[in-house]
Amino acid sequence: MAGTGVPPINIEGTADWSSLSRMMNSKGIQFSKARTAGTSVKVFTNTPADYRQLVALLESIKRSFFTYQLKEDRMDQRVIRGLPREMSVNDIKEDLVSQGIADAEVQQMTSRTTKKPLPLFLVKTKMPEKLAEIQRLAMLTVSFERKKKSSEPSQCYRCQRYGHTQRNCRLAERCVKCGEDHNSTSCSLPAPPTGQRNAKCCLCGEGHPANYKGCSKAPKKAASAPKAVPTTNRTSYAQKAKKPMSTSAPAAATATGTTAQKQHGDDRLLAMMQAIITRLDALEAKMQDKH
């Protein structure tokens, strides 16, 4: 974000950059730098106002681009618990608006595996503090929990590319199932597993949907470094007992009383174990003499 908090705008195509930059200059759009990134140009505008102006310009000339959300436009996300699965999203939104959450956006959450609706609803708002004051919706006691961030890389539902989301994408639409240039919801290909045989990935060209985690073009998770296992050089009492007792000078006078007492106790225990081992060795020798 070039240190300004303003996200870059990735404009598809580099051939007409000269004319586009002149158009930006004529509109008074200021940017700190621009650089090529593959087949696109990444532009870093100076201020949020410049950012909004450039986005509006690109949309007006129907130019393909993608970007990221301004920090000031980001909405806080909370999961609503305590409502029945059958609850209407519109009813929830109306209730939130009536309680002061004017910008509330609500959607029902679905299971990742079965795709069936869950008794959980996601609300987006720039007023999380006011949301925390709400205790009831539709006369039912509810709770709001912060939505956990996914560990999976973001994938755009519009163009199927990784690294950005549908909300800020103006690239050409590509179907997640068949790979053709149309919206995924309008595709006639049956959903998996029936349509799996005819699926085609628009990212790699192989026979699978574009959101397949095993796709060769999907970002790979960085391998986590193995945890270091601490090692200690511990000697058992039996091992110590087999070693000859130290005849070195006594411990330094600076040792504390507790340390000295512990050392004395260890020495007594070692002496006892050495005596036991000596007796066992003698007993074993006698047994061998008898045979």
**Residue range 92-147, pLDDT digits in tens:** 999 999 999 999 999 999 998 888 999 999 999 999 999 999 999 999 999 999 98
Prior bond to 153 cis, omega within 30? Answer: no
Whether the pLDDT of residue 208 is over 60: the answer is yes
Residues whose CB falls within 8 Å of the CB of residue 12, separated by 6 or more in sequence, listed in order: 39, 40, 63, 64, 65, 171
CB 156 within 8 A of CB 66: yes
**Residue range 44-57, pLDDT digits in tens:** 999 999 999 999 99
Q: What's the pLDDT score for residue 280?
A: 75
Spans of all domains in the chain: 9-70, 75-146, 153-217, 262-291
Which of the pair, 142 or 195, is modelled with greater confidence?
142
User: Residue 2: pLDDT band by 50, 70, 90 thresholds?
Assistant: very low
Determine if the pTM surpasses 0.75: no
C-alpha to C-alpha distance for 276 and 269, rounded to whole angstroms:
11
Superfamily name and number for 75-146: RRM (RNA recognition motif) domain (3.30.70.330)
What's the residue count for the chain?
Answer: 291
Average of per-residue pLDDT across 1-8: 73
Q: What's the pLDDT score for residue 131?
A: 94
User: Residue 149: pLDDT band by 50, 70, 90 thresholds?
Assistant: confident
User: Residue 224: pLDDT band by 50, 70, 90 thresholds?
Assistant: low
Average of per-residue pLDDT across 198-208: 92
